[in-house]
A and B are shown apart, each in its own frame.
Chain A
Amino acid sequence: MMSWTEDQPMVSIKDVHKSFGDLEVLKGVSMDIMKGQVICIIGPSGSGKSTLIRCVNALNDIQQGSILVEGQEVNDPDLDKLELRKKVGMVFQQYNLFPHKTALQNVMMAPIQVLKQDKAEIEKQAYELLKKVRLEGKENSYPGELSGGQQQRVAIARSLAMNPDIMLFDEVTAALDPETVKEVLVTIKQLAEEGMTCILVTHEMGFAREVADMIYFTDRGVIVESGPPATFFDEAKDPRTKEFLSQIL
């Protein structure tokens, strides 16, 4: 049925408009993300970065435009949101781990309850994922017993357990201490190097420069400027981009 092939964009965002009531937050945003690409979205607070990536897994609906995820139209009343979300993982700024479950259970829950996978198999996978995010030995800790950086890595493992094709990261290091930011970024970088398609909202410019294939700068609901890190950071043309970069770098 779906005719998507890997030479087409994995996520194709076209002229997306999104309003909360009278407030238009996205005013015609377009971008394409190819398989294996890492995209960083930067911009001032309130410019609609979170709103945009939340539209990709249909946590927010859109009023106008089109978002194709592997050829599947997201702006469609008949959309099977659950099928979409099985393909698109998301990690939040506030971790949002399930506090009444251990790290291991957090990772295992969705595959068991949503994907109805075999428990023994998923348990093995969960141990491996926690090892991958360097949390060996923390399997039986509750979120309340883990540091922010550790919780965020559990959250990443939890998303990966669904075996998604695309990962969305919304300022996942913004709530962390400077020292623990790095341990999370290392994990994301490792994912990117393994070829995971990633859309990141971040304020970590050094990280963006290092891992991103494309940088998008948004302001007041539009994309002001975009480009590969080298040209974007060193040859920014738009005055708004320049001002933003001068403040943050």
Chain B
Amino acid sequence: MKSIPGINSKASTDFAVLKPPARNQVSHWHPNSTSFTRWLSELSILNCFLFILLAFVFSSLAFAQSNYTTTDAVDALFRWMPFLLKSGFFFNILISLLVMLIGTLTGIVLGLGQISIHGWLRKLCWAITQFFRNSPWLVLLFVVMLAFPFQIEIFGLTIPVPDWLKAVIGLSLPIMANVSEIVRGAVISVPSGQWEAAESLAYTRLQTLWQIILPQCFKRMIPPWMNWYAILTMATPLVSILGVEDVLKLARDATEAEGNHPELLMPFYTFVLVLFFIYCYPIAKLTQRLERKFSVKG
């Protein structure tokens, strides 16, 4: 008998796993400081693996009666692993890197706009920043997906815009806004005496910014910037909802191809979680260490 989770198998713990994990996380994606990675980095590795172990034991207990055993499911996972890693997770990483690149470059421009001497530019950049900082990422993704044409024409040249590229653009918007805030916050945290000293040495405003101010706050910007990278990486599975073939979408496809046995869910999604954990945990640790180091030195 083919089991459909939550219908003819014992509806239990695995049900929640079926839902896109993104949905109830959306509202949490606005930590301002590095609090999220701090939380993550304070998890002990032991705790996490204990949790994973428990999850495995529990899932094998829950479906002990079924013909399809957890061992079969784990076997299936091992067959799919290279594919999920190479075609799935690496694509998530690629998306996160592209988003970070675009978001950082545009965010720096926007952040510097927020401290411009021109009032109108300052206000405009402030408004853009606030807008994208306070929008749910998933909604932004939907809007970009729907609003962007699937191809653009430049000088008679037709350039297709695939869904994953739209997803990159969509995720870049909140990253841009948060980088903008990081830049603005770092610049205004430099005492005004530094500006005055530079001014009285005949520096222009631009020179002061590039030679005196930004080099001083560069270090201060790194930990929050890395924090946003970790948050972004964990948000990349959002794109699966829009049909982009990331690790989550492929994991779902794989379990379907394996016959949709509920026993498959726990191993497959745990594997996805472990991948993200292995990638993000060191980033969180490093962020925390840098934060401590820079706060000591001042």
Whether the Cβ atoms of B298 and A144 lie closer than 8 Å is yes
Instruction: Indicate whether B215 reaches chain A with its CB closer than 8 angstroms.
Output: yes
Query: Scoring A residues 151 to 192 as 1 if CB is less than 8 Å from chain B, else 0, what string do you get?
Result: 000010011001000000000000000000000000000000
Q: Which residues 107-131 of A sit at the B interface, judged by CB distance below 8 A?
A: 109-110, 113-115
Given A82-B204, A92-B193, A99-B216, residue A113 in contact with residue B199 (CB < 8 A) = no
Whether the Cβ atoms of B202 and A162 lie closer than 8 Å is yes
With a cutoff of 8 Å between Cβ atoms, the chain A residues found around residue B298 in the complex are 99, 144
Instruction: Indicate whether B85 reaches chain A with its CB closer than 8 angstroms.
Output: no
Instruction: Indicate whether A86 reaches chain B with its CB closer than 8 angstroms.
Output: yes
Measured between alpha carbons, how far is A94 from B193 in the docked complex, in Å? 8
With a cutoff of 8 Å between Cβ atoms, the chain A residues found around residue B199 in the complex are 59, 85
Measured between alpha carbons, how far is A89 from B200 in the docked complex, in Å? 7
Instruction: Indicate whether A212 reaches chain B with its CB closer than 8 angstroms.
Output: no
Given A96-B193, A98-B194, A113-B211, residue A85 in contact with residue B200 (CB < 8 A) = yes
Given A98-B216, A100-B216, A114-B207, residue A57 in contact with residue B197 (CB < 8 A) = no
Whether the Cβ atoms of B200 and A90 lie closer than 8 Å is yes
Whether the Cβ atoms of B202 and A92 lie closer than 8 Å is no
Residue ID in chain A nearest B215 by CB atoms: A100
Measured between alpha carbons, how far is A159 from B198 in the docked complex, in Å? 10
Measured between alpha carbons, how far is A94 from B216 in the docked complex, in Å? 17
Instruction: Indicate whether B201 reaches chain A with its CB closer than 8 angstroms.
Output: yes
Measured between alpha carbons, how far is A79 from B211 in the docked complex, in Å? 24
With a cutoff of 8 Å between Cβ atoms, the chain B residues found around residue A89 in the complex are 200
Measured between alpha carbons, how far is A158 from B194 in the docked complex, in Å? 13
Q: Which residues 182-216 of B sit at the A interface, judged by CB distance below 8 A?
A: 191, 193-194, 196-204, 207, 211-212, 215-216
Query: Scoring B residues 91 to 127 as 1 if CB is less than 8 Å from chain A, else 0, what string do you get?
Result: 0000000000000000000000000000000000000
A114's contact among B194, B201, B215, B216, by CB below 8 Å, is which? B201
Whether the Cβ atoms of B193 and A57 lie closer than 8 Å is no
Whether the Cβ atoms of B201 and A92 lie closer than 8 Å is no
Measured between alpha carbons, how far is A81 from B208 in the docked complex, in Å? 14
Whether the Cβ atoms of B193 and A82 lie closer than 8 Å is no
Residue ID in chain A nearest B190 by CB atoms: A99
Whether the Cβ atoms of A85 and B196 lie closer than 8 Å is no
Residue ID in chain A nearest B199 by CB atoms: A59
Residue ID in chain B nearest A82 by CB atoms: B202
With a cutoff of 8 Å between Cβ atoms, the chain B residues found around residue A162 in the complex are 201-202
Measured between alpha carbons, how far is A82 from B203 in the docked complex, in Å? 7
Whether the Cβ atoms of A96 and B196 lie closer than 8 Å is yes
Whether the Cβ atoms of A114 and B202 lie closer than 8 Å is yes
Whether the Cβ atoms of A110 and B203 lie closer than 8 Å is yes
B285 to chain A, nearest CB (A): 26
Whether the Cβ atoms of B197 and A85 lie closer than 8 Å is no
Q: Which residues 68-87 of A sit at the B interface, judged by CB distance below 8 A?
A: 81-83, 85-86
Measured between alpha carbons, how far is A155 from B200 in the docked complex, in Å? 12
Whether the Cβ atoms of B203 and A114 lie closer than 8 Å is yes
B143 to chain A, nearest CB (A): 41
Measured between alpha carbons, how far is A85 from B198 in the docked complex, in Å? 10
B117 to chain A, nearest CB (A): 14
Give the B-binding residues of A (Cβ under 8 A). 57, 59, 81-83, 85-86, 88-90, 92, 94, 96-100, 109-110, 113-115, 144, 155, 158-159, 162
Name 29 A/B residue pairs within 8 A (Cβ), A-sorted: A57-B200, A59-B199, A82-B204, A85-B200, A85-B201, A86-B202, A89-B200, A92-B193, A92-B196, A92-B197, A94-B191, A94-B193, A96-B194, A98-B194, A98-B197, A98-B198, A99-B298, A100-B216, A109-B201, A109-B211, A110-B203, A113-B203, A113-B207, A113-B211, A114-B201, A158-B201, A159-B200, A159-B201, A162-B201
